[in-house]
Amino acid sequence: MLPVIELAVFAALVVTPFLLADRTDLITLVTNVIILSLLALSFDLCWGFSGIMSFGQALFFGVAGYVVALVGRDLEFSQLWATLPLAMLVGGLLAAGLAVFLLLGKRTPSSIFVAFGTLTGAYAAERLVAGWQYVGAGNGLSAIRLMAFGDYEFVEGVEFYAVALAALALVYAASRYLVRSQMGLVLAGMRQNEERLAFFGYRVQVFKALVFSFAGMIAGLSGALYSYHQGFTGPSNLGPGLSTTAVIYCLFGGSGTLIGPVIGTAAIEVLSYVLADTDAIRQFWPVILGVVLLVVVAFQPSGLLGLLVSSRERIGSYGARKAVR
């Protein structure tokens, strides 16, 4: 069932531009969904696959967004073959640094401390950026230099959509390889019983730090694409607000699967787009998000995908099926 859903989602994303070629606003919406689902995916790798409750995914997202904006402004350079890897490097290094501080060390930190650490990081960064004139303080950076490849500049539209979709496909393939590899098997073991894995001799915290850094890279890529696409980045792009939105995307879709965050992001963003026309609902949209999160957390922890896919399949199996001799 799961591969069918994955295929269906990607097939839908591939045909979308052909169906909506004359509706630029809808193309923009779906591009946004793709970019944000990268962020949700990076949160899912932390929480769904390695048990780190990260309230700070937007930190890597936002900082990478600011970095590409500043590179565009001060160096007048925005070639995607260099800036997107740079964004991934920034996000990955930042996440690795935070992971070393929060996770590694003689004493094993409690999961609550790690959650607060990521929250505090994002919160402190938001406050710092909001007061820092060089990066535009509270107003953020607008009119970001367009993402380019050679002489071609990407504006909102089908071409940008193609770049975003390619990024999502690559990241998805890499994540899928990761969680189905031998390392993914260790991660699955950690989810079941972290202490036991530690007694087996696995350095649980090192594995967590690795996945966290990888997730930071993805969040960085997502943030760079988001900045280029919006042409704007501001302090709220790296605060706890966006981080928790990513949490809602992921949990609503179904954490612990890779396709879940993509579905969750699409469902919530499309719903928000449809409902935004009604004034009464738009004002209380955050309340609806809160109710969604509460219902998912209390009654349906496996999210939307849990309605379709059995938990046996969500957890998955490892290695090739061999006949037992």
List interacting residues with other proteins (CB under 8 A). 53, 101-102, 105, 107, 109-113, 115-117, 119-121, 123-125, 127-128, 131-132, 244, 247, 251, 283-284, 286-287, 289-291, 293-294, 297-298, 301
Q: Closest CB to other proteins among 171 and 187?
A: 187
Q: What is the spatial distance between Cα 18 and Cα 119, in angstroms, rounded to a whole number? A: 41
In the complex with other proteins, the residue whose CB is nearer, 23 or 286, is 286
* Residue 52: CB minimum distance to other proteins, A: 10
On whether the CB atoms of residues 12 and 141 are closer than 8 A, the answer is no
Whole-number Å distance between alpha carbons of 130 and 136: 8
Q: What secondary structure does DSSP assign to 55-118, as a single string?
A: S-HHHHHHHHHHHHHHHHHHS---BHHHHHHHHHHHHHHHHHHHHHHHT-SSSPPPHHHHHHHH
Q: For other proteins, which is the closer residue by CB, 64 or 114?
A: 114
Tell me how far, at minimum, the Cβ of 294 lies from other proteins, in Å.
4
Least Å distance, CB 111 to other proteins, is: 6
Q: Could you tell me the smallest distance in angstroms from the CB atom of residue 254 to other proteins?
A: 15
Q: How far is the CB of 147 from other proteins (least distance, A)?
A: 30
List C-alpha distances in Å: 200 to 2, 49, 189, 319: 31, 19, 11, 20
Cβ proximity to other proteins: between 101 and 200 the closer is: 101
Residue 248 in contact with residue 292, Cβ under 8 Å? yes
* Neighbouring-strand partners of residue 253: none
Closest to other proteins by CB, 120 vs 272, is 120
